[in-house]
Amino acid sequence: MASSPRAPKQWSLSKNESINSFENWRQNLVYTLSLDSNFAPFLADGTTWGKKTKTQPLRGLTDDGESVPLSIRRTARQKVNFLELMLGQIANYCPVMSRNTLVKNSTSIQSVWNTIRAHFGFQITGAHFLDFADLHLEADERPEDLYQRLMAFVEDTLLRANSLSHHGEASTEDEELTPTLENFIVLTWLKLIHPELPKLVKQSTVQN
């Protein structure tokens, strides 16, 4: 019987991360945590909890009712224990952040990622897209690596459901990368390699 694929061993975030390296870290961690059935419910979209305070030690979580199978039925206290164990694991691999910020002050798994993104300056805002203008071919960087950075940046700024609004209307579904936007990325990439490169590519295309 073939064994199930295993994620790479989880690593810790460093002081300097890119959007790509953060997303690789996050996705690997989500996969690893989801393998534990006690953590999986807290990773689901829309799942929320309260901040940990003296007056709200159970963080708004409640006991499961009798409709939940006994084998997976949990009390509020058990849920809190598993939740904070999971958050503690995330904090272990994010030493650049205050542990209490992630364990006690988070209210959803998305709030955890947003907090870490904000720390690195990756928060998703309308103004964040303007940082695209600052991207350039760095010393000793391969053109292929620059292209991947451009692509990762644009993919990270695509609208997410129920996040930013466009022309006053809230987005109801995740935005997808269109062919036109991909062409725009390629054009930007060529110009950053050399300002005259788009003209050369156009001439070569017309001749062929």
CB within 8 Å of 190: residues ≥ 6 apart: 197, 198, 201
Asked if residue 114 belongs to a domain, the reply is: yes
Q: Assess if residue 13 is contained within a domain.
A: no
Q: Which of 104, 120, 136 is the last residue of a domain?
A: 120
Same domain, 43 and 110: yes
Residues 113 and 30 in one domain: yes
Residues 96 and 140 in one domain: no
pLDDT digits (tens, 9 = 90+) for 45-104: 889 999 999 999 999 999 999 999 999 999 999 999 999 999 999 999 999 999 999 999
| CA nearest to 87, candidates 44, 42, 121 | 42
Give whichever of 94-103, 119-128, 136-145 has the largest mean pLDDT: 94-103
Looking at the fold, whether 113 and 134 belong to one and the same domain comes out as: no
Task: Quickly state the pLDDT bin for 25 (edges 50, 70, 90).
Answer: very high
> Is residue 12 one of the residues assigned to a domain?
no
Same domain, 198 and 154: yes
Q: Which domain holds residue 38?
A: 19-120
> Of 120, 150, 185, which marks where a domain is finished?
120
Q: Is a pLDDT exceeding 50 seen at residue 1?
A: no
The encoded tokens of residue 110 equal: 């998305």
Are 107 and 196 in the same domain?
A: no
**Dihedral (CA of 12, 96, 61, 79) sign:** positive
Residue 127 has pLDDT above 70, yes or no: no
Give domain status of residue 90, yes or no.
yes
Classify the C-alpha dihedral 145-148-12-32 as positive or negative: negative
24 & 95 share domain: yes
181 and 137 both lie in a single domain: yes
Q: Which two tokens stand for residue 122?
A: 């990756």
Same domain, 34 and 116: yes
Distance of CA 38 to the CA centre of its chain: 22
> Are the beta carbons of 97 and 91 closer than 8 angstroms?
yes
Domain annotation covers residue 102 = yes
| pLDDT bucket at 202, cuts 50 / 70 / 90 | confident
Q: Does a structural domain hold residue 9?
A: no
Number of domains into which the chain is organized: 2
- Examine the domain organization and report whether 86 and 67 are in the same domain: yes
